[in-house]
Amino acid sequence: MNKLDNLVAQAKDILRTNDLGGYTVPTKGLYPFQWNWDAGVTALGWLYVDELRAWTEFEKLFEGQWENGMVPHIVFHQESDDYFPGPDQWKVEGNPPTTSISQPPLLATMVRIIYEQSKDKELAQAKLDALMPKLIRYHEWWYRERDPETTGLVSSYHPWESGMDNSPAWDDVLHRVPQVNRPYQRRDLNHVDSKQRPLKEQYDRYIYLVDFFRENDFDYQKIYQNCPFHTQDISLNAVLQRGTIDLIHLNTLASVAADMTSLEASVAKAEEVFPSLWDAERHLFLNRDQALEKAIPVSTSGGFMPLYSYSATPEQAALMAAEIKEWLVLGPSGLASTSPLESTFDAKRYWRGPSWLHINWMIVDGLKHYGHEDVAEQLRQASRAIIEQSGYFEYFDPITGEGCGGKDFSWTAAIALHWLL
Ligand code: 9YW
């Protein structure tokens, strides 16, 4: 088998191995359940293995959808002792049990890609028609409950909600969250070197927030008013913006069209406020701290995500493309998740430096949209080189390309099948 065939076969094997019957775990051991944005990316990989199975990934995730429309960040389809905090900690009643927060809503965009690229058009139409009402309820939930004052940007209440857990962008906000005052046992350190994982002090605050949501009855108004961790996450807002744009397009393809007036208004409102998050010196967009009502001055890869949501001006896009090129000089093995020039940069510690393939892919998609084919191709080649060098790890040291975190990771394999091979 040549090198390319071998990489393709390995990626497909990873999806099959991580398939627990209709849903795919991110990796066995470390993450034994179904995660929200992982499911979206992973469905894209299934398209190259089994189209029907790609659609099932979404259907299984929506089994965890709440009455109010929220799609949780984890759906606990079965029991496992490998992960903390499990359903006994979140204490959300429901079958299947879930967490009480969400994750960057990639799903509508992934459904659009799969619908457009699938071969079995009859199957795709039936699946799209069934998914549309659920997707619409999910997006309406974001705007209704996470932006109750219609500012144009939705709020986040937990670093896990960003999908970028220990990003230095959250350090100061998280520091204001009390540390939980009860014993608990982490399980992640049974699987991965502690040097590549968040610190205990951060976990103490993550768990405090889990308790806080439950103590506030998961009530969105109480949480909006009182949550000690309250941000407007630029990357999550960009993913939502792109997702809603794709959802509005999908509505034109569905057999029965729904009324999208309110979602259209949300897209227009977000478009108006994105420019307020631009940082003219750093040449990227910034997250916001909602307690202090100010931008968070930390340069992360999330700050380039408005490329993916078409929310930048052509001038801003050109400045971001040049900035990305500079980051790639310092960290050539994919886009660093935190600028290598930040004092908090840490090449191997999760979201404090490592490069992640699905983020690289979304940013490349945005760069191409704005016509920056050269930087887009450079980042694609860099992403391909790291899987050739290191295989399908969870994330990669952006300086050396060394694979870090969990092995045989579903979204890395899926993005490789879709984008790199
Ligand atoms: C957690 C599964 C998830 C990803 C997140 C990543 C990590 C840890 O793993 O979260 O305990 O939820 O930060 O982006 O979805 O791969």
pLDDT digits (tens, 9 = 90+) for 331-373: 999 999 999 999 999 999 999 999 999 999 999 999 999 999 9
Query: Which numbered atom of ligand 1 lies nearest the CA of 27?
Result: 16
The whole-angstrom separation of Cα 274 and Cα 271 is: 6
Distance 110 CA to ligand 1 centre (A): 18
Q: Where are the beta strands (DSSP E) in 348-401?
A: 395-396
Q: Is the CB of 188 under 6 A from ligand 1?
A: no
pLDDT of residue 287: 98
Q: Is the CB of 395 under 6 A from ligand 1?
A: no
Distance 286 CA to ligand 1 centre (A): 22
Distance 163 CA to ligand 1 centre (A): 6
- Counts of helices then strands in the chain (DSSP H, E): 16, 9
pLDDT of residue 1: 82
* 288-289: strand order across its sheet: 231-232, 288-289, 294-295
Q: Where are the beta strands (DSSP E) in 111-270?
A: 231-232
CA-nearest residue, atom 11 of ligand 1: 160
pLDDT of residue 257: 97
User: Is there a catalytic annotation at residue 394?
Assistant: yes
pLDDT of residue 147: 98
**Cβ–Cβ < 8 Å for 78, 20:** yes
Q: Is the CB of 346 under 6 A from ligand 1?
A: no
Task: Tally the residues of the chain.
Answer: 421
Q: Where are the beta strands (DSSP E) in 208-329?
A: 231-232, 278-279, 284-285, 288-289, 294-295
User: Is there a catalytic annotation at residue 402?
Assistant: no
Q: Which of 78, 54, 24, 49 lies closest to 408, judged by CA?
A: 24
The whole-angstrom separation of Cα 297 and Cα 25 is: 34
pLDDT tens digits for 193-234? 998 899 999 999 999 999 999 999 999 999 999 999 999 999
**Cβ–Cβ < 8 Å for 351, 167:** yes
Give the pair of three-digit tokens for residue 94: 């429901």
Q: Is the CB of 31 under 6 A from ligand 1?
A: yes
- Which listed residue (145, 147, 161, 165) is catalytic? 165
What residues of the chain score a pLDDT lower than 70?
none
| Interface confidence: ipTM more than 0.90 | yes
Within 8 A by CB and 6+ apart from 396, the residues are 333, 334, 354, 355, 356, 357, 386, 390, 402, 403, 404
Indicate if the alpha-carbon torsion angle 133, 311, 299, 417 is positive or negative: positive
Residue recorded with tokens 């399908």:
392
Q: Is the CB of 90 under 6 A from ligand 1?
A: no
List, in sequence order, every residue forming a beta bridge with 218; answer none if it has no partner: none
- Which listed residue (19, 57, 145, 394) is catalytic? 394
CATH tag for 3-420 (out of 1.20.58.480, 3.40.50.970, 3.40.50.1220, 1.50.10.10)? 1.50.10.10
The whole-angstrom separation of Cα 205 and Cα 211 is: 10
Q: Is the CB of 161 under 6 A from ligand 1?
A: no
